[in-house]
Amino acid sequence: MDIKNSLKIFDTLSQETRLQVFRLLVQAGPEGLSAGAIGDELGILHNTLSFHLSHLSNAGIVTSYRQGRYVFYSANFELMRDFIAFMVQDCCSKQQVQIQQPGTSDCLVIELTNCCNSKKE
């Protein structure tokens, strides 16, 4: 992950509808949701949703696949894992942030040890 890709992700998610769609897709898990289910859940009209899904797809934040007549969308967990790691890797100091990907899991473990915990006197 580099700064340009991070800015593209920030720019895409800085819009309320796109952030709501992305969060819903994270909750749905890797199988994702059909465009119709997303629209129904969030109360978004088809043409408006299509516009926002296009932005999310162009940024690589969501992926899509066709199943019959339906298009399903899912969060790109690998990209977002890299993005989150990029964001915290320089937090305070390397001694205070540990990023691990345990075993065969696709999860990313980020441990912030007293990061940015400053006392004001």
pLDDT, tens digit, 9 for 90 and up, residues 62-117: 999 999 999 999 999 999 988 988 887 766 555 555 666 666 666 666 666 665 55
Instruction: Kindly indicate the confidence band of residue 120, based on its pLDDT and cuts at 50, 70 and 90.
Output: very low
Domain 3-76 sits in CATH at 1.10.10.10
pLDDT for 20: 98
Average pLDDT over residues 34-56: 96
Residue type, 68: G
pTM of the model: 0.77
pLDDT for 107: 65
Q: How far from 4 is each of 12, 18, 30, CA to CA, in Å? A: 12, 19, 26
Higher pLDDT, 16 or 102: 16
Backbone angles phi, psi at 98, to 5 degrees: -125, 125
State the Cα–Cα distance between residues 68 and 70, nearest whole angstrom: 6
Half-sphere exposure of 76 (CA within 13 A, CB side): 17
Average pLDDT over residues 17-45: 97
